[in-house]
Structure 1
Amino acid sequence: MAQASGAYLVGDYASALMHAQRAAAAGEPRGATLAGHIELHGLAGAPDEEAAVRWFSRAAERGEPDALIILARLAQAERGGLSAFQARDFLSRAAETGDARAALEFGLYLMDTGDPARAARTLEWLRLAAESGHPPAFTEYAIALDQWVHGPNDPALALPWYERGAEAGDAHAALQAGLIHLAGEVEAADPATGADFVEMAAELGLPAAMGQTALLYFQGTGVAADPARAVSWARQGAQAGDADSQFLLAYALATGEGAPIDRREAYLWVLRAGQPGATSLAGDPARAQLEAALERALDPAVAARVREEAILTATRY
């Protein structure tokens, strides 16, 4: 197996395949998994999904979780001669090996099936993955506890796992932890801690968290009010395409709160906040009101040019 790994690392995939096949023949499941990987991705010739499945199946017979997980994914996509119904068995066998990644994959698979009869088992697999210290499982388990329709919908249970996910660098977990603290609906809630988590999510690059952080600094919620800092975060979120951030930036530029008044730029951002998109504020009355006020304040020719600019740059935001 060492020869197979060494050849693979230097890019000699033909030799890696040969040595991996020999290792597999000697009973080494990692050799079979590596041979399957090389065949699947065509690293030593043309891709051969059926050959890959044969090698992965050989490794799976010896309980190799990586091979079982890959077989499950191929089955879900109905590749290599596999059928979708086989995925559940592959994942179940992988999870039973005690592998945290497999426990997470199996838990997520069960969540996707949406069967309430399996809710307790689903949560158990996700819990095992999280308690094994697998970072991606922290957030997924928290979501299952907090938001999954068949879960307990208990933010107090979810909060410690969101916090662990945040500490592991997951921006979405940080935002959710922050929002739970700020909502004050759990005993451990603390606005300052919530603000810290929301800003952590913003620092990790989550556009929605940038808008939330800007709002906290505008309102002085959990932090000392700081309009200039609020505008800085709003601008970052706006440039990243978050509509709430775009609206907050437009408001600041229209009113001079935290930034010099610039009604032309404010009009541009309020228009962008209303453009179609996942976070669009097209139907928001406050946005529409600000748009109308800025349009009245601008010279009609200037307003027309800004509207044209907003349309021309729509794909950027």
Structure 2
Amino acid sequence: MRRLVSTLGLILCLGGSAWAQEDTPTVPTAEEVEGVDAPVADLPPLPEGLAEDFARDASGDAVEGRSLTNSAMASASAAYMVGDFQGALIHAQRAAAGGEARGATLAGHIRLHGLSGEASDEDAVRWFRRAAELGEPDALIILSRLAGEGRGGLQTWQSREFLAQAAEAGDARAAHEYGLYLMERGDPGAASDALNWLQLAAESGRFEAYGDYAYALADWDHGPHDLSTAREWYQRAGEAGDPSSALIAGLMLMNGEGGDADEAAGARMIRMAAEYGLPAAMGQHALLLYQGAAGRAPNPSEAVDWARQGADANDPDSQFLLAYALATGDGAPRDLERAYYWVLRAAAPRGGRTPEDFDRDRLEASLENALPEPVLERIRVEAAVGSSPF
């Protein structure tokens, strides 16, 4: 069986960073809001701060410390949650006129996405600018994104200025995004600033930044390649719910990268990542179960259960392990036809390339010697289209 892959060179499944995505909470549905009848669905994600405020409005939790206290903003929130976007816009504009930054942000969001009529980048930018003048971080972050795309009359060079302003105001999310922005520009002269902003975001408790900071420390070309500190942050990110970070932390612990090897802790992190639903982690967890690790006896049947889940999710390690188990009858009833299907799926090109694997190629050749050609041809067709008859 193959060894666990090395963490070094492993590309995070963070591709498409937080900078490029607006991965913010969505508006509560009607079922989640007591007394609301009409559902709200298929909406663009709210800016993060507004989403948190709206969730508090829906839950009835204490609102100490937030600025959405005036009746106009409360009315705007309530209207938005039931899909009355025109009403939400009117109330948000009234709130903004009274100096409520979140009202201006909500008005910009509604106009940007055309929720109350035709979308208008220019109108949206006007409202976001009003919120930005009041130091509202969501508005500054959105303005940065729009500037990066040259929308709403903004220039691309303004993108960095908007993000820097938000980060320097002490907002952890902005610090996170600004650090990612600097990383993605690939400027060695800005490497120290990028790391500092990511560190600030992570140490401020923004768990979404933990994995990005760890990556910058360990694997970024312009980073310090500090595996020890990176391993700590990958662990924290994994324990906070990031499956990719949990897998990487587990592999680092297993392989002794960034500190002493700790097989038990590594196996625990890898299992955590598998339970989060990460296909690659399912394959690694299955391999550990199959081989026996961290002082535990091999458990082929449980390994096959995990390998099946990973194989169905198109993880090649899971597919190879499942094929091996089916070919040998170790952990599953022996079935050479199913084994051949899964070994072919494991060899399917990914990213335009077929990964090299001597063990897999040897198993494939053995199965081809054991099965008649008509059966092989049928299974090749099924594997090529990813349609399993099993």
Measured in 2, the distance between the counterparts of 1:21 and 1:14 equals 11
Code of the residue aligned with 1:115 in structure 2: it is: D
Measured in 2, the distance between the counterparts of 1:123 and 1:225 equals 42
Structure 2 gaps of 5+ residues are 1-72
Are 2:142 and 1:90 aligned?
no
Which SS does the other structure have where 1:11 is aligned?
Answer: coil
Which residue among 314, 318, 328 is the counterpart of 1:241? 314
Measured in 1, the distance between the counterparts of 2:303 and 2:85 equals 53
Which residue among 267, 284, 298 is the counterpart of 1:225? 298
Q: Deviations over 1:231-268 (max 9, x none)?
A: 11111111100111111111111112211211110000
1:10, distance to aligned residue in structure 2 (A): 2.5
Contact 2:76 2:88 (C-alpha < 8 Å) held by counterparts: yes
1:189, distance to aligned residue in structure 2 (A): 3.2
Measured in 2, the distance between the counterparts of 1:314 and 1:172 equals 28
- Identity fraction in percent: 60
Q: Which residue of 2 aligns with 1:16?
A: 88
Name which of structure 1's ranges 77-86 and 150-159 shifts more when overlaid on structure 2: 77-86
Q: Deviations over 1:40-92 (max 9, x none)?
A: 11111111111000100111111110000111111122222222221101100
1:22, distance to aligned residue in structure 2 (A): 1.8
Code of the residue aligned with 1:146 in structure 2: it is: A
Which SS does the other structure have where 1:39 is aligned?
Answer: helix
Which SS does the other structure have where 2:261 is aligned?
Answer: coil
Which SS does the other structure have where 1:46 is aligned?
Answer: coil
Measured in 1, the distance between the counterparts of 2:178 and 2:260 equals 31
Measured in 2, the distance between the counterparts of 1:59 and 1:188 equals 49
Are 2:147 and 1:75 aligned?
yes
Contact 1:244 1:279 (C-alpha < 8 Å) held by counterparts: no
Which SS does the other structure have where 1:266 is aligned?
Answer: helix
Name which of structure 1's ranges 56-65 and 2-11 shifts more when overlaid on structure 2: 2-11
Structure 1 gaps of 5+ residues are none
Name which of structure 1's ranges 256-265 and 102-111 shifts more when overlaid on structure 2: 256-265
Code of the residue aligned with 2:298 in structure 1: it is: A
Q: Which residue of 1 aligns with 2:366?
A: 293
Measured in 2, the distance between the counterparts of 1:221 and 1:17 equals 58
Code of the residue aligned with 1:69 in structure 2: it is: I
1:290, distance to aligned residue in structure 2 (A): 1.1
Contact 1:273 1:281 (C-alpha < 8 Å) held by counterparts: no
Which residue among 155, 161, 186 is the counterpart of 2:258? 186
Name which of structure 1's ranges 272-281 and 86-95 shifts more when overlaid on structure 2: 272-281
Measured in 2, the distance between the counterparts of 1:313 and 1:220 equals 31
The 5 Å alignment of 1:140-159 reads: 140-159=212-231
1:137, distance to aligned residue in structure 2 (A): 0.7
Q: Deviations over 1:128-176 (max 9, x none)?
A: 1111111101111111111111111122101121111111111001001
Q: Which residue of 1 aligns with 2:329?
A: 256
Which residue among 201, 214, 231 is the counterpart of 1:129? 201
Indicate how the Cα distance of structure 1 residues 160 and 76 shifts in structure 2: closer, same or farther if over 3 A, else same: same
Which SS does the other structure have where 1:235 is aligned?
Answer: helix
Q: Which residue of 1 aligns with 2:23?
A: none
Alignment RMSD (CA, Å) = 1.8
Which SS does the other structure have where 2:331 is aligned?
Answer: coil
Indicate how the Cα distance of structure 1 residues 278 and 224 shifts in structure 2: closer, same or farther if over 3 A, else same: farther
Indicate how the Cα distance of structure 1 residues 282 and 184 shifts in structure 2: closer, same or farther if over 3 A, else same: closer
1:202, distance to aligned residue in structure 2 (A): 0.6
Contact 1:116 1:150 (C-alpha < 8 Å) held by counterparts: yes
More helix per residue: 1 or 2? Answer: 1
Measured in 2, the distance between the counterparts of 1:242 and 1:77 equals 35
TM-score if structure 1 supplies the norm length?
Answer: 0.95
Figure out how many residues of one structure are paired with residues of the other and give that number: 316
Code of the residue aligned with 2:75 in structure 1: it is: Q
Contact 2:282 2:309 (C-alpha < 8 Å) held by counterparts: yes
Indicate how the Cα distance of structure 1 residues 280 and 196 shifts in structure 2: closer, same or farther if over 3 A, else same: farther
Q: Which residue of 1 aligns with 2:52?
A: none
Code of the residue aligned with 1:257 in structure 2: it is: D
Which residue among 160, 163, 172 is the counterpart of 1:100? 172
Measured in 2, the distance between the counterparts of 1:280 and 1:227 equals 30
Contact 1:275 1:314 (C-alpha < 8 Å) held by counterparts: no
Indicate how the Cα distance of structure 1 residues 171 and 280 shifts in structure 2: closer, same or farther if over 3 A, else same: farther
Contact 1:94 1:103 (C-alpha < 8 Å) held by counterparts: yes
Name which of structure 1's ranges 266-275 and 253-262 shifts more when overlaid on structure 2: 253-262
Contact 2:199 2:213 (C-alpha < 8 Å) held by counterparts: yes
Contact 1:145 1:153 (C-alpha < 8 Å) held by counterparts: yes
